[in-house]
C-alpha cells in the first residue's frame, strides 16, 4: 500500500510530501525523503519492552510497573527535572507541562542547547520572520549564517530556497543569490554565490560591521573584520540592499558561539536595518522535528518557551539558572524524567553524569545514550511513524503527523497521562 503526503518527523523542515510504501505493517520504501528521512522510517529499531536497571544488569518489567515506579520517583523528589520533548507531538508535551505544574518540577526542552539563545534575542528585539512559503515564492537573496543545511536540513534548499521554483522566482537557480557565512567551508558554502569565511567568535563584529555599512558609515570599518575583507562586506550589503526580498537563516554557529544570544540580537537588528531599504526577514533553522512545538506548548501553558521552573508554585523562568544543563551541572535535581531526547549524548559530560547519580527515567522509542544513565526506560510510539499528533514546522506552521503503521506500542502521551493520574490520585489533567 502506498501512503501519500506523509510528514517526516525528523527535522524542523517537517517535509510533508513523502510517499511511503508499506507491506504487512512494515515500511518498505520511502520516496521523496532525504537520507535522514529514509533512516528515520526504514531503520527504526525499538526497545521492545520497558526495562529497569538492577544491581547487575537490566530486567524487563511491565508498563504498569514502569509507570507506577516512575510516578513514585517523581512524587518522592524535591527538585525533579522534566527534559526533552522535541521529538514527540504537542499532545505529549502538554501533559508534560501539566505534570511539571502538579509536582513543582523544572521543565525544559531541547531548545535549551539549540536555539534557546535565539529565543532570548527574540524576547529582546522581536522576530521579523515569515513562513517558508513566503521565502519560497518571493526571496531572491538567501543568507545562511552559521548553519549547514546540506547536512542538517538536507531538503531546505530544494523545497524553499536555492533550488525551489517560486511564484515570483520562476528560475530559482538563476534568480536567487545565495550567501553563506561560516567558519568552515562546508558543503553548503560550496554552492554559495558568495562565501564569507569568518574567524571563530567573529560573528558579532561582522554583523556590527554590516549594520554600519547599511547605515552609510563605511568609512569607520577597518580593512578586515574577523578575517573578512571590507570589500566583501560592502559587496554583501549591496547585494542585500538591492534585493527584492531577502531571507536570513541562521543556525547554531550563531547560538553556540561567543556572544550567544547577543549574536542573534545583532543579526535581527541587521535585518531591521535592511528593512529601511527593502524587505528582509530572519529565522532560525530549527533542529528537532517538533522543537518549535515544545516552545509553543510551553508558552501557551506557562507563558515561557523553555526552562520553566514550577518550584514556587508558579511558572518562573530564568535561563542560566533554570536551564537543564545548569541544573544538572550544579547537581541540583534529585530525579529526572527524559522524554523524546538524548541528553546523555547531547549534554556536556558533567551535566550528563549527574543523570546517572539520580533516579532517571526515559520515555523514548529507541535505546540511546541516556538509556545507560537511566534507572528505567519505557519505550513508546514514535510520533509520525506509529502515532498521529501535531508538530510545528521551523516557521511556526502546525502540521499533523500521520500514523503510518501500528507497532503495538503505547503512545507517550498515554504513558504520561497514566503517570499524571498516579501523581494526582487518579484524577486526570
- Range 287-316, binding another protein (CB under 8 A): 287, 307
Cα(64)–Cα(53) distance, rounded to whole angstroms? 16
Nearer to another protein, 240 or 322 (CB): 322
Judged by CB under 8 A, the stretch of 122-130, 250-258, 386-394, 416-424 that binds another protein is 250-258
Nearer to another protein, 95 or 376 (CB): 376
Q: Which residue from 268, 277, 281 is spatially nearest to 214, judged by alpha carbons?
A: 277
Site string for another protein, 79-118 (x = CB under 8 A): ---------------------------------xx--xx-
Asked if 59 is part of the footprint of another protein (rule: CB under 8 A), the reply reads no
Cell of 228: 573578512
Asked if 47 is part of the footprint of another protein (rule: CB under 8 A), the reply reads yes
Site string for another protein, 115-154 (x = CB under 8 A): -xx--x---------------------------x-xxx-x
Q: Which residues are CB-contacts of 410 (< 8 A; sequence separation ≥ 6)?
A: 63, 380, 381
Among 6, 13, 18, 36, binds another protein (CB under 8 A): 36
Q: Which residue from 103, 32, 109, 113 is spatially nearest to 73, judged by alpha carbons?
A: 103
Cell of 28: 518498505
Among 329, 403, 407, 422, binds another protein (CB under 8 A): 329
Judged by CB under 8 A, the stretch of 96-104, 237-245, 370-378, 421-429 that binds another protein is 370-378
Total residues interacting with another protein, rule: CB under 8 A: 78
Asked if 323 is part of the footprint of another protein (rule: CB under 8 A), the reply reads yes
Cα(70)–Cα(146) distance, rounded to whole angstroms? 40
Nearer to another protein, 93 or 341 (CB): 341
Among 6, 15, 51, 291, binds another protein (CB under 8 A): 51
Nearer to another protein, 356 or 410 (CB): 356
Judged by CB under 8 A, the stretch of 77-85, 248-256, 270-278, 410-418 that binds another protein is 248-256
Among 11, 206, 264, 274, binds another protein (CB under 8 A): 11
Nearer to another protein, 7 or 139 (CB): 7
Contact 407, 311 (CB under 8 A): no
Cα(281)–Cα(272) distance, rounded to whole angstroms? 8
Residue 19 CB burial class (10 angstroms; 0-12, 13-18, ≥19): middle
Judged by CB under 8 A, the stretch of 65-73, 172-180, 373-381, 415-423 that binds another protein is 373-381
DSSP 300: H
Q: How many CA atoms lie within 13 A of 389 on its CB side?
A: 27
Size of the chain, expressed as the number of residues it contains: 429
Cα(101)–Cα(314) distance, rounded to whole angstroms? 8
Asked if 171 is part of the footprint of another protein (rule: CB under 8 A), the reply reads no
Task: Give backbone dihedrals phi and psi of 398, rounded to 5 degrees, phi first.
Answer: -75, 135
Among 33, 319, 359, 389, binds another protein (CB under 8 A): 319
Cα(340)–Cα(342) distance, rounded to whole angstroms? 7
Asked if 384 is part of the footprint of another protein (rule: CB under 8 A), the reply reads no
Q: Which of residues 209-228 bind another protein (CB under 8 A)?
A: none
Among 137, 158, 183, 218, binds another protein (CB under 8 A): 183
Minimum distance from CB of 137 to another protein (Å)? 27
Minimum distance from CB of 149 to another protein (Å)? 10
Minimum distance from CB of 393 to another protein (Å)? 18
Asked if 178 is part of the footprint of another protein (rule: CB under 8 A), the reply reads no
Asked if 205 is part of the footprint of another protein (rule: CB under 8 A), the reply reads no
Asked if 349 is part of the footprint of another protein (rule: CB under 8 A), the reply reads yes
Asked if 341 is part of the footprint of another protein (rule: CB under 8 A), the reply reads no
Cα→Cα distances 61→67, 158, 368, Å? 10, 46, 18
Contact 343, 324 (CB under 8 A): yes
Cα(113)–Cα(211) distance, rounded to whole angstroms? 28
Cα(212)–Cα(310) distance, rounded to whole angstroms? 43
Sign for the CA dihedral angle at 363, 291, 332, 258 comes to: positive
Amino acid at each position: 500500500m502506498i501512503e501519500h503526503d506523509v510528514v517526516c518527523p525528523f527535522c524542523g523542515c517537517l517535509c510533508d510530501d513523502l510517499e511511503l510504501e508499506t507491506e504487512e505493517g512494515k515500511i518498505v520504501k520511502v520516496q521523496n525523503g532525504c537520507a535522514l528521512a529514509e533512516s528515520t522510517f526504514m531503520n527504526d529499531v525499538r526497545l521492545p519492552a520497558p526495562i529497569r536497571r538492577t544491581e547487575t544488569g537490566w530486567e524487563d518489567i511491565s508498563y504498569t510497573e514502569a509507570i507506577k515506579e516512575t510516578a513514585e520517583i517523581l512524587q518522592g523528589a524535591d527538585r525533579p527535572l522534566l527534559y526533552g520533548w522535541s521529538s514527540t507531538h504537542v499532545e505529549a508535551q502538554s501533559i508534560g507541562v501539566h505534570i511539571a505544574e502538579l509536582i513543582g518540577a523544572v521543565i525544559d526542552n531541547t531548545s535549551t542547547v539549540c536555539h534557546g539563545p535565539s529565543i532570548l534575542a527574540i524576547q529582546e528585539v522581536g522576530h521579523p520572520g515569515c513562513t517558508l512559503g513566503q521565502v519560497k515564492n518571493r526571496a531572491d537573496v538567501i543568507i545562511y549564517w552559521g548553519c549547514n543545511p546540506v547536512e542538517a536540513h538536507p531538503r531546505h534548499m530544494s523545497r524553499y530556497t536555492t533550488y525551489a521554483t517560486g511564484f515570483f522566482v520562476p528560475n530559482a537557480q538563476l534568480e536567487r543569490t545565495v550567501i553563506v557565512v561560516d567558519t568552515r567551508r562546508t558543503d553548503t558554502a560550496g554552492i554559495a554565490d558568495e562565501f564569507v569565511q569568518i574567524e571563530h567568535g567573529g560573528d558579532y563584529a561582522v554583523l556590527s560591521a554590516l549594520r554600519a555599512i547599511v547605515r552609510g558609515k563605511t568609512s569607520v570599518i577597518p580593512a578586515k573584520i574577523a578575517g573578512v575583507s571590507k570589500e566583501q562586506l560592502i559587496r554583501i550589503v549591496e547585494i542585500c540592499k538591492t534585493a527584492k526580498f531577502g531571507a536570513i537563516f541562521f543556525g547554531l554557529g550563531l547560538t553556540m558561539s561567543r556572544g550567544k544570544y547577543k549574536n542573534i540580537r545583532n543579526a535581527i537588528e541587521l535585518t531591521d536595518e535592511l528593512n529601511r531599504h527593502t524587505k528582509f526577514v530572519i529565522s532560525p533553522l530549527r533542529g528537532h522535528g517538533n522543537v518549535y512545538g515544545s516552545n509553543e506548548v510551553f508558552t501557551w501553558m506557562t507563558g515561557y518557551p523553555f526552562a520553566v521552573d514550577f518550584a514556587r508554585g508558579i511558572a518562573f523562568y530564568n535561563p542560566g539558572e533554570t536551564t537543564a544543563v545548569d541544573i544538572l551541572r550544579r547537581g541540583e535535581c534529585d530525579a529526572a524524567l527524559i522524554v523524546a531526547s538524548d541528553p546523555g549524548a547531547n549534554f556536556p559530560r558533567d551535566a550528563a553524569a549527574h543523570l546517572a547519580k539520580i533516579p532517571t527515567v526515559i520515555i523514548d522509542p529507541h535505546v540511546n545514550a541516556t538509556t545507560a544513565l537511566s534507572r528505567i526506560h519505557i519505550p513508546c510510539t514514535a510520533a509520525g511513524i506509529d502515532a498521529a499528533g501535531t508538530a510545528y514546522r521551523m516557521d511556526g506552521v502546525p502540521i499533523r503527523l500521520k500514523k503510518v503503521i501500528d507497532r503495538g506500542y503505547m503512545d507517550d502521551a498515554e504513558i504520561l497521562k497514566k503517570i499524571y493520574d498516579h501523581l494526582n490520585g487518579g484524577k486526570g489533567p
